Amino acid sequence: MTMERGAVESIAPPDEPSDPETDRPVRRLIIAIDGPAGTGKSTVARQLARRLGLEFLDTGAMYRAAAAIAIDAQVNLNNAEEIVRRTSEADLHFDWTTDPPTLRAFGKSIMHRLRDADVSAAVSPVSGLAALRRLMVETQRRIGEAHPRLVSEGRDQGSVVFHDADVKFFLHASPRVRAERRAEQLRSLGRAADVDKIERELIERDERDSTRPVGPLVCPPDAMRIDTSTMSETEVVGHLESLVRGHLGEGSGSGAATL
């Protein structure tokens, strides 16, 4: 998996990122956002990136793509080596010229597969495979070098991938609230939703993600832990934005101003 290709890159090579207009080195700003499913992390991370003028990396999409590639190639989902081989073969990489960046495999977008039910069911165990995680961690670090002004979202971004991130957030919410949010999403798509069942599945998934031996879901000690249970996504974005600006000594000004 290359993930970084000259044809789709919009900024300078990894070793020396520079502003294309001024040719001056860019100021690194990596914001890591982790937390369990159902905290609104993805939407929040994407909106925060936009508000701060940063790029956005959806690392869950990378694991989903690996699961989709494995399923489509009919690979046994416990066969880590084969999944890594197929994922590398697929030349999985982001096209950074679109917003949000498009994940491509075998020369075409794989975005339409990422939320399919078979992929959603397979991705949690697949993302626990140590060899795949090694490939993903290495790739995400390379992306961070080439795109050093980044909001990176996942489960291990502050704890493993960017342990030196400039700002780290860990979003959480009670399982009940998260299950209700998910049920609401399903109903808005015209699908039936059983909140109790969703809650049970979320608790099981949290348990699996938190206790796996590689890249477990943990709140890094230097992360700001945000309980989103009683906040709307817009409120969370505004809160994180002011925390980032405060952290960087810019006061709490908000809006589309870049840092």
Please tell me whether residue 37 binds ligand DC under the rule CB under 6 A. Answer: yes
Nearer to ligand DC, 193 or 248 (CB): 193
3-state secondary structure of 150: strand
CA–CA dist 252, 191 (Å, integer): 40
| CA 148 to chain CA centroid, nearest Å | 15
In the complex, what is the shortest distance from the CB of residue 16 to ligand DC, in angstroms, rounded to a whole number?
27
Nearer to ligand DC, 70 or 245 (CB): 70
In the complex, what is the shortest distance from the CB of residue 19 to ligand DC, in angstroms, rounded to a whole number?
28
Which residues between 143 and 202 bind ligand DC (CB under 6 A)?
Answer: 154-156
How many residues are given for the chain? 259
> 41 near 35, Cβ under 8 Å?
yes
Nearer to ligand DC, 209 or 241 (CB): 209
In the complex, what is the shortest distance from the CB of residue 152 to ligand DC, in angstroms, rounded to a whole number?
8
| CA 133 to chain CA centroid, nearest Å | 13
- The neighbour count for residue 166, using CB atoms within 10 Å, is 17
CA–CA dist 254, 239 (Å, integer): 10
In the complex, what is the shortest distance from the CB of residue 136 to ligand DC, in angstroms, rounded to a whole number?
7
Give the number of residues in contact with ligand DC, rule: CB under 6 A.
13
In the complex, what is the shortest distance from the CB of residue 12 to ligand DC, in angstroms, rounded to a whole number?
25
CA–CA dist 59, 29 (Å, integer): 17
* Phi, psi (deg, nearest 5) at residue 31: -115, 120
What is the 3-state composition of the chain as percent helix, strand, coil, each rounded to the nearest 5?
45, 15, 40
Please tell me whether residue 63 binds ligand DC under the rule CB under 6 A. Answer: yes
Contact window for ligand DC (CB under 6 A) among 98-106, 120-128, 177-185, 228-236: 120-128
DSSP assigned state of 39:
S
CA–CA dist 123, 114 (Å, integer): 10
In the complex, what is the shortest distance from the CB of residue 34 to ligand DC, in angstroms, rounded to a whole number?
8
Task: Return the amino acid letter for 130.
Answer: A
Which residues between 123 and 142 bind ligand DC (CB under 6 A)?
Answer: 123-124, 127
Nearer to ligand DC, 40 or 154 (CB): 154
In the complex, what is the shortest distance from the CB of residue 48 to ligand DC, in angstroms, rounded to a whole number?
15
Contact window for ligand DC (CB under 6 A) among 25-33, 58-66, 91-99, 173-181: 58-66
Given the rule CB under 6 A, which residues bind ligand DC?
Answer: 37, 59-60, 63-64, 123-124, 127, 154-156, 209, 215
